Amino acid sequence: MRISKTLYLFFIPGFLLYFIFFIYPTASALFYSFTDWDGLSENFRYVGFENYERAFTGDSVFAKVFVNNLQFMFTVVVLQTLVALAFAILLVKNTKTNVFFRALYFFPTILSSVSVAFIWAFIYDPTFGILNSFLESAGLGAYTLGWLGDASIAIYCLAITQVWFHAGQMLIIFVAGLQSIPEDLYEVARIEGASKWQTFKSVTWPLLAPSATIVVAYTTIQSFKAFDLVFAMTGGGPNNATEIIATYIYEVAFRSYEFGYASAISVLFMIIIGIITYLQFKALRSDRVSY
């Protein structure tokens, strides 16, 4: 069967949108990463790999920001995956109660990031916040803290907010994955006398690998792109303790007007996400199923 050449015209609108909103901006960022453009003037000069050298050897803030992002990502990926999986196992059956709780846990996902940031900034407020008020009323006043003002824990407070924000979304993916596992396999495991842990390890988890891969990869990308949440809650403070790469790019580009350097960080940002996502897919690749 021959395909009419006219059909290829239907690819043009989609390709144009992809070119305008992805290919062209990416190519522009790569081009400007080799310049000292300030984002305003028409003139700039080519500086070669100076921006990249600065990121690796001459910018201590970037090194700190990179570590912050890894801490944030690791905390969010581990907690969000475990929380979503645990609730998915509890709510896998399609009862009215379970459906209600799935919808309840999914609800935060439909809120705007700025709304979530303001809600949790109030919860963490050292003077009027719900968290410190609860600790005071429970007789645990010694444990009250300035949660977002403490450089040693602020990034983890943001990670908990991110988990609350998106765990319900990952829960739905895990529920779909669990419901696709044939019940016959669980019946065989029960007949063979397998414990719940053995059943989970040998049946549930291997067959849940495709869903787990999606959850881990998507959660990783989310944690690197949590610009609005971090910016609205802390602005990267205190003392860059909660600055992540996305917010640092904004600081460099729109406050220091170093668009060339910001472009170089953006390119590195894209490469970092690509490498980490690739390694995760290798570790949780969908075809790794054992029976």
Residue 291 has pLDDT above 50, yes or no: no
Query: What is the rounded CA–CA span in Å between residue 211 and residue 215?
Result: 6
8 A C-beta contact, residue 178 and residue 172: no
Residue 124 has pLDDT above 80, yes or no: yes
8 A C-beta contact, residue 91 and residue 175: yes
Prior bond of 13 cis (ω within 30°) = no
Number of folded domains in the chain? Answer: 1
Residues shown for the chain? 291
Residue 250 has pLDDT above 90, yes or no: yes
8 A C-beta contact, residue 109 and residue 165: yes
Mean pLDDT of the chain: 91
* pLDDT (0 to 100) of residue 285: 66
Count of other CB atoms within 10 angstroms of residue 201: 13
Residue 46 phi/psi, 5-degree rounding, is: -80, 130
Q: pLDDT tens-digit profile of 169-206? A: 999 999 999 999 999 999 998 998 889 899 998 899 88
Q: What's the pLDDT band for 287 if we cut at 50, 70, 90?
A: very low
8 A C-beta contact, residue 209 and residue 286: yes
25 lies in a domain?
no
* pLDDT (0 to 100) of residue 2: 66
Residue 256 has pLDDT above 60, yes or no: yes
The tokens of 15 are what?
Answer: 């390709």
Query: What is the rounded CA–CA span in Å between residue 50 and residue 24?
Result: 23
135 lies in a domain?
yes
162 lies in a domain?
yes
Whole-model pTM: value is 0.88
Q: pLDDT tens-digit profile of 46-81? A: 999 999 999 999 899 999 999 999 999 999 999 999
Query: What is the rounded CA–CA span in Å between residue 233 and residue 159?
Result: 12
233 lies in a domain?
yes
What contacts 13, CB < 8 A, 6 or more positions away?
A: none
Distances (CA, A) of 266 to 37, 56, 103, 220, 275: 14, 13, 36, 17, 14
8 lies in a domain?
no
289 lies in a domain?
no
- Rounded average pLDDT over 20-46: 93
278 lies in a domain?
yes
* pLDDT (0 to 100) of residue 42: 87
6 lies in a domain?
no
Range of the domain at 246: 35-283
* pLDDT (0 to 100) of residue 1: 55
138: CATH: 1.10.3720.10
Residue found by looking up tokens 């949440």 in the block: 229
